[in-house]
Amino acid sequence: MKSVLFVCTGNTCRSPMAAALLKHYAQEAGIEVRTASAGLGAFTGDSASEHALKAMSELGLDLSGHRSRKFHTALAEEFDLILVMTEGHKRQLLQAAPELAEKVFLVQEYSRAARYREELQNGKEKVYEIADPFGQSLDVYRQVRDELAQAVQAIIAAWQREKGDNA
């Protein structure tokens, strides 16, 4: 079973949405995955933001039970893959725990690698950050939700191809 930890800033918007989306699409694809989320600057026990709850409920996904937690190295060691939202998150995480370097990626970076391995091999490097919607409109949350949905669907598709190659 694959295990993925999503990390953002406050663990009330992007990372809980990403964890729920990956879990949902993996289940639809018949792939077992354990997901969790944490925030580099999170306060423990905060619920998902109002707009995150609304944006996800539009897809039939319920974040009402989510409670934020702060990222720590011991938590990260429990996961095969750690997906972050921004270069700043990646830098901060790797400064605190350089031993995690081989399993820390930007969500979009990992997603693009799953879809466009050749593009990355040809040296076309781009930054694929997920913008923080905190304090913005519901439409911005929907946009972030949709970016995350596309990214995790690409990851699922790559895992399905990998699963087929190993069958």
Helices 14-29/50-57 angle, 10° precision: 20
Name the nearest CA neighbour of 109 among 91, 89, 125, 132.
125
Q: Which residues are catalytic, by number?
A: 8, 14, 132
Question: Where on the phi/psi map is residue 33: left (φ > 0), alpha (ψ -120 to 50), or beta?
Answer: beta
> Which helix (H) or strand (E) is 25 found in, with range?
helix 14-29
Name the nearest CA neighbour of 89 among 54, 39, 134.
39
Using a 10 angstrom Cβ sphere, with 0-12 exposed, 13-18 middle and 19 or more buried, the burial of residue 157 is: middle
DSSP 12: S
SS3 of the chain: helix, strand, coil, percent, to 5: 50, 15, 35
